[in-house]
Amino acid sequence: MRELTYTEALLEAFREEMRRDPTVFHLCGGLGPLASLIPEFGEERVRVCPISEEAYVGASIGAAGSGFRPIVSPGMMTFAFTAMDQIVNQMAKIHYMFGGQAPFPIVFRASTGGGRSAAAQHSQSPHPMFMNLAGLKIVMPTTPYDAKGLMKSAIRDNNPVVFFEDQILAAQGVKSPVPEEDYTIPIGVAEVKRQGRDVTVIAIAKMVPEALAAAAELASEGIAVEVVDPRTLVPMDKGTLRTSVQKTGRVVIVDEACMTCSAAAEIAALLSEDAATFRALKAPPKRVCAPDVPIPYSPIMERFCLPDKTRIVAGIREVLG
Amino acid sequence: MTLEPQQLLTMYRQMATIRAFDQRAVEEFHAGNIPGVVHAYIGQEAVAVGVCTALRRDDKIVSTHRGHGHTIAKGADLSLMMAELFGRSNGYCHGKGGSMHIADFRVGMLGANGIVGAGMPIATGAALAARLAKSDGVAVAFFGDGASNEGAFHGSLNLASIWKLPAIFVCENNQWAVSVPASYALSVPEVSARAAAYNMPGVTVDGIDVLAVYEAAVQAVRRARAGEGPTLLECMTHRWRIHSEQRGNPTDPRPRDAVEAAQQHDPITVFGTRLQEQGVATAAALAQIDREVREAIEAAVAFAKASPVPKPEDALLDVFAP
């Protein structure tokens, strides 16, 4: 099968969906790789915006309420905090608040995550904040295959979908198989990335490759680690997560966000409040997250804060007892 | 653009309807029948009616927390509005929005908004949609003098200007942002002066005079439909009531003599007198309209009171569209 990078896979999703539906268009804070769409679709549909995140993120809402399907890309999520009123007070609530009168199909793309010595403001993993808003679907894919399939579903969805792209996954340029045929991946469906019987590791975004590396390392010791990628955070695929933990009886949840009220915290609650899953647990659930500090600049301190293969291995050993 | 007598009478009827609707909303609020908050539009009727008379049904508007007037002027249904204020399940938003969040997408009313200035980017997006659809539709953002100090104002005007969008930014300058006077809070004597920074026409008109508002709106709409870009239209007006109705009727923080002086220039009385002077209507004909308006509002209140309350678990519906 041919192989694509994360960014190439997303561009292919844009191209296919823009051909399929003339109401799909881009509002972006900077062109970047989207420039490659201009020859085919023109500057009207690949629209560069001034650095007015509040204005153009809000404009995406008005356009969506008027029959279009905007894809709005402010770049780093941290820049788009200046548009938080439009995201929190408008995008997340407008459909519900108006009694479901009109759909607001919007894809809001932003990069997240640390690992590039970008210091506290530009190394955040704010997805848990958005999970708490009610009214936004939240997708956070790991592989180029998942990114393309989920982006196509996000564009076709009739709701605001926040599409978080880990900045390392997007930038690293690693290629992996993406089929040429048309496909989508439904929002709200997790995937077991590696089968195993001894312990479940639930990992989000770039923690998935770290978890798979941990699983490969422990396999040599005869420990069979199952790795599950939720892929979508809202709605969360509780069933797949619970089924895996009921099988293994042990779980480590890996999330790059600060631990307090992280996605990992929510997943731990979804697992332990379910009676069948609770009864199947042979050890307490373990969270591997960033500590509750702003992410520091110096690489040595940043590495200390961010979860990685080593900390995942340690977490697995802890739940194995 | 010259208005036919029938159109002038329709404008009068709409202004009277907005006045009567909000007078009744205030009464029902203080009677305990409307929960939450009510921001009465009383005194500002000429702005909504003057602007919306210049629009077509397929044009879009985005409103504010003080949105009943715009909603009525754009053609929304009084009974569904009142039922929403009462929090009933057959209101516009099935009881999920209330006074500050009424929308009617069928008439191009894309929603009132509880956040100051937040509707402006949304209206800018509706104007962008008109452009992308290759229609000659326009979008209007209503906002107040206070909102012109928000980042959303500046970002929206800049965006609409560089893209020459068919947007009309209508500032209802009632001279008070809750309790903060515009004379203190604005860096310029008139909000319209800010248009210069965004390379668009800025016009200030007497917002008590519905025909002056209408004429200025017609110019802005003509410009927008012709692809010449946005306009900032400032309408000087007065809010007669306190910022929002509150239980226990607290004192309005504004100087009382200023409020009372403003009430000497009632936009409805001014317009009614002019219609009589021009021979468009007799006093009796206007009184007949006033009676019909009151009956329509009473019917809306009766509809609201007879409407079913939502089931509690309906709170779980409509988070996401199918």
Integer Cα distance of B262 and B256 in angstroms: 10
* Length of chain B (residues): 322
Closest of A113, A110, A105 to residue A73, by C-alpha: A110
Q: How far is CA A32 from CA A6, A28, A143, B11, B251, in A?
A: 14, 9, 20, 51, 55
Q: What is the pLDDT of residue B258?
A: 87
**pLDDT beyond 80 at B1:** no
Active site residue A127: no
Segment (H or E) for B180:
strand B180-181
Q: What CATH number is associated with residue A128?
A: 3.40.50.970
Q: Cβ contacts (< 8 Å) between B317 and chain A: which residues?
A: 100
Q: What are phi and psi of A72, to 5 degrees?
A: -110, 130
Q: Are residues A69 and A160 in the same domain?
A: yes
Q: What is the C-alpha to C-alpha distance for residues B148 and B172, in angstroms, rounded to an integer?
A: 10
| Sequence-ordered strand ranges (E) for chain A | 3-4, 24-28, 46-48, 69-76, 106-112, 137-139, 160-166, 176-177, 191-194, 199-203, 225-229, 232-234, 251-258, 286-290
SS3 A174: coil
- Reported as a single tens digit per residue, the pLDDT across A46-87 is 999 999 999 999 999 999 999 999 999 999 999 999 999 999
Q: Compute the half-sphere exposure of residue B70: CA atoms within 13 Å on the CB side of its CA.
A: 32
Final residue belonging to a domain, choices A120, A145, A177? A177
Q: Which two tokens stand for residue B242?
A: 């306190």
Residue A182 falls inside a structural domain: no
**Domains of chain B and CATH, by start:** 5-308 (3.40.50.970)
ipTM of the complex: 0.96
Burial B150-187 (b: 16+ CB within 10 A, else e): bbbbbbbbbbbbebbbbbbbbbbbbbbbeeeebeeebe
User: Looking at chain A, which residue has its C-alpha nearest residue B114?
Assistant: A89
Q: What is the pLDDT of residue B145?
A: 97
Residue B317 has pLDDT above 70, yes or no: yes
pLDDT in tens, B221-270: 999 999 999 999 999 999 999 999 999 888 899 999 989 998 999 999 99
Query: B-chain residues within 8 Å CB-CB of A44?
Result: 132
Percent of chain B exceeding pLDDT 70 equals 100
Q: Does any domain span residue A269? A: yes
**B230 inside 8 A of chain A by CB:** no
Q: Which residues contact B297 (CB under 8 A, 6 or more apart)?
A: B17, B20, B21, B24, B78, B82
Per residue of chain A (321 residues), give pLDDT as tens. 899 999 999 999 999 999 999 999 999 999 999 999 999 999 999 999 999 999 999 999 999 999 999 999 999 999 999 999 999 999 999 999 999 999 999 999 999 999 999 999 999 999 999 999 999 999 999 999 999 999 999 999 999 999 999 999 998 889 999 999 999 999 999 999 999 999 999 999 999 999 999 999 999 999 999 999 999 999 999 999 999 999 999 999 999 999 999 999 999 999 999 999 999 999 999 999 999 999 999 999 999 999 999 999 999 999 999
Average predicted confidence (pLDDT) for chain B: 97
Q: Are residues A109 and A166 in the same domain?
A: yes
Helix (H) or strand (E) holding B120: helix B119-132
Residue A30, domain extent: 3-177
Type of residue at B292: E
A43 with A74, same domain: the answer is yes
What pLDDT is stored for residue A317 in this prediction? 98
Do the Cβ atoms of A150 and A237 come closer than 8 Å? no
- d(Cα B88, Cα B77) in Å, to the nearest integer? 15
Q: Which residue of B has its CA nearest to A234?
A: B320
Does residue B67 belong to the interface with chain A, where contact is any CB pair within 8 Å?
no
Residues 6+ apart with CB under 8 A from B149: B177, B185, B186
Q: How high is the pLDDT of residue B2? A: 84
Number of structural domains chain A divides into? 2
Looking at the structure, do residues A172 and A196 belong to the same domain, yes or no? no
pTM given for the model: 0.97
Among A177, A203, A219, the domain boundary falls at A177
Q: What is the pLDDT of residues A150-203, one digit of tens each?
A: 999 999 999 999 999 999 999 888 999 999 999 999 999 999 999 999 999 999
d(CA B56, CA B221): 10
Interface test with A, best of B65, B107, B122, B143 (most A CBs within 10 A): B122
Task: For residue B117, give the amino acid letter.
Answer: G
Residue A185 lies in a domain: no
Cβ–Cβ below 8 Å for A135 and B319: yes
Provide the 3-class DSSP secondary structure of residue B109: strand
Both A26 and A136 in a single domain?
yes
Tell me if A167 is assigned to some domain: yes
- At CA B159, angle to CA B154 and CA B162, rounded to 5? 120
Same domain, A119 and A198: no
Chain B hits for A69, Cβ within 8 Å: none
Helix (H, G, I), strand (E, B) or coil at B158: helix
Residues A39, A171, single domain; the answer is yes
| The one catalytic residue among A26, A95, A122, A127 | A122
My answer on whether A126 and A216 are in the same domain is: no
Q: Is residue A183 part of a domain?
A: no
pLDDT of the residue at B249: 83
Give residue-wise pLDDT tens across range A185-194: 999 999 999 9
| Among A198, A203, A147, CA closest to A172 | A147
Contact (CB<8Å) B156/A101 = no
| Tens of pLDDT, residues B95-126 | 999 999 999 999 999 999 999 999 999 999 99
Residues A195 and A173 in one domain: no
pLDDT of residue A285: 98
Using a CB-CB cut-off of 8 Å, the residues of chain A touching B115 are 85, 89-90
A12 is a domain residue: yes
- What pLDDT is stored for residue B248 in this prediction? 87
Residues A162 and A217 in one domain: no
Q: Which of A149, A177, A205 is the last residue of a domain?
A: A177
